[in-house]
Amino acid sequence: MPGVLAAVVALSVAFGGIMASDTLFVGLLTNLVHLPMQVYQQHSMGQFINRYSSDIAEIDFVMPYSVRSMANIILQLLSVVVIIVYAAPVLAIIVPVLAILYYAIERFYVATSRQLKRLESTLRSPIYSHFGESINGVATIRAFGQQNVFIQSSENKVDENNRCYYPSIVANRWLAVRLEFVGNSVVFFACLFAVFGRATLTGGTVGLSVTYALNVTQTLNWLVRMTTELETNIIAVERVKEYSEIPREAPLIIAETTPEKTWPQKGEIVFSNYCVRYRDGLDLVLKDITCRIQPSEKIGIVGRTGAGKSSLLLGLFRIIESASGNIYIDGVDISKLGLHHLRSKLTIIPQEPVLFSGTLRMNLDPFDVHLDTTIWRALEHAHLKSFVESLPKKLYHNCTEGGENLSVGQRQLICLARALLRKTQILILDEATAAVDMETDKLIQETIWQEFESCTILTIAHRLNTVLNSNRVMVLDAGRIIEFDSPSKLLSNADSVFFKMACDANLV
């Protein structure tokens, strides 16, 4: 029977620990993939890795053991105290006093240990961040011969982490001395009262009492250690819960405001007193943007670095939410839509091409909705057909993580082919041809103008020649629209900012 009960207890703790850990992990993962992008700017990658690795490992492997051990030790300690008091009832007077002393020591130690554990966990994140950054930049580090600098920096971060780990060991030894004192006090009083009560006590009773009293030191030590370990490791749960409860971005789908499947049909975009900041407490990066972009109009967006060009597009995708004002697409306020309904209707060719580990076909058509003939046509228009045909597996060529086995220009053309397959009514180009040569840039621009002739196109460009064929050019400065007119009119005005930018680029 005791064996059955022990098995039931062990299984209950094991399965309970797995279920609790699974719930915490799923909550953490679900929340992190729905966080606003500014959260990732405020927290380092090492902090996220720390939650997913060390903290989850403690919840998986340490917490269930700590719970079971603490429960066992509490029951064992109660049995020891009952036997000692039964053998020498007068000890019932001393036990509460020693219990109060023990509790005071334990509380003082746990408070210290818990804070040291919190500091140690916090200082572990920079180690992960530095290691990840070193791996990603290993080619650059070797090129400049800075290996020793990064090794020394890593060692310094480990030393900083150990500065909190070492005091926890010292505190542990402090606790051991005081627990030995409490345990030896129990043995002392058990022997003392056995001597005083020798007239009424039998030898067997005295032996039983002293034997259990000798074991109480070890039992007390384990109780405090298990209690402390449980309270210390619960910090991992606290840290995981902290990231699981960070406010998410807007819902993916809002049933009440679901637009029609054909939306947007025209591609008209209206900005009304639109302002945006990256997070609360920071200055506005876009200020009172008010303009109307006609259906099928081609708009070039230019400005100096920091003028707000990329911020305008981030606001259009609601990567960052508006501080005030609104954006309307075909008369629909995009702030009322679910993010999936909004973002699925916009196509972007980004400045930094994004590819995933998998086949080339999966990267072009991740949801597998297009025929191979359609994909080959898109590759031909993107000037990639000959390259893909030269690959041994063609469309099923394996792309490594981030597309590292392809050049940056090829990745950019794959993103163009992906956009040609989606072909939504609104296309956004964010420095889409920055990584290709001028000749390929010209071919891409011709492809975009032919294939997206009926679409609204917003083009961010540092190469001003890529926006000279636009219907209108928007010039931004310090988050405001300072000019918005056709390229010909702006270039005919020697006082315009766009004219001066064109002069600097030797286009005039």
pLDDT, mean over the chain: 82
List the domain range (segments joined by +) for residue 466.
265-345+427-432+457-508
Residue 438 CA to residue 505 CA, distance in Å, equals 14
Do 111 and 187 lie in a common domain? yes
- Inside any domain, residue 415: no
Count CB atoms within 10 A of the CB of residue 361.
19
Average pLDDT rounded to a whole number, residues 371-397: 87
Do 16 and 124 lie in a common domain? yes
Structure tokens at 327: 């954006």
pLDDT at 435: 61
Do 194 and 281 lie in a common domain? no
Cα three-residue angle 433-439-443, rounded to 5 degrees: 70
Residue 102 CA to residue 99 CA, distance in Å, equals 5
Give 75's Cβ-side CA count (13 Å radius): 5
Average pLDDT rounded to a whole number, residues 466-485: 86
Distance of CA 276 to the CA centre of its chain: 23
pLDDT at 367: 84
- Inside any domain, residue 260: no
Do 122 and 236 lie in a common domain? yes
- Inside any domain, residue 162: yes
Do 466 and 503 lie in a common domain? yes
Total count of domains within the chain: 2
Query: Which CATH number goes with the domain that contains 139?
Result: 1.20.1560.10
Task: Summarize pLDDT for 289-322 with one digit per residue, the tens.
Answer: 898 999 888 888 888 878 888 888 888 888 888 8
Average pLDDT rounded to a whole number, residues 109-132: 81
- Inside any domain, residue 397: no
Partner residues linked to 472 by β-bridges: 299
Q: How confident is the model at residue 102 (pLDDT cuts 50, 70, 90)?
A: confident
Do 161 and 301 lie in a common domain? no
- Inside any domain, residue 382: no
- Inside any domain, residue 400: no
Do 217 and 285 lie in a common domain? no
- Inside any domain, residue 296: yes
Task: Summarize pLDDT for 319-348 with one digit per residue, the tens.
Answer: 888 888 899 998 888 988 888 888 888 888
Do 197 and 231 lie in a common domain? yes
Task: Summarize pLDDT for 424-442 with one digit per residue, the tens.
Answer: 888 888 876 666 667 767 7
- Inside any domain, residue 80: yes
Residue 447 CA to residue 432 CA, distance in Å, equals 13
Do 170 and 278 lie in a common domain? no
Q: Which residue has the higher pLDDT, 491 or 505?
A: 491
Do 174 and 320 lie in a common domain? no
Do 330 and 462 lie in a common domain? yes
Q: Strands (DSSP E) along 78-224, which ranges?
A: none
Task: Summarize pLDDT for 227-279 with one digit per residue, the tens.
Answer: 777 777 787 888 888 888 888 888 888 888 888 888 888 889 999 899 988 88
Do 238 and 310 lie in a common domain? no
Query: Which CATH number goes with the domain that contains 341?
Result: 3.40.50.300
Count CB atoms within 10 A of the CB of residue 381.
19
Whether residue 14 is predicted with pLDDT greater than 70 in this model: the reply is yes
Could you give the 3-state DSSP secondary structure of residue 490? helix
Domain boundary among 215, 244, 273: 244
Whether residue 199 is predicted with pLDDT greater than 70 in this model: the reply is no
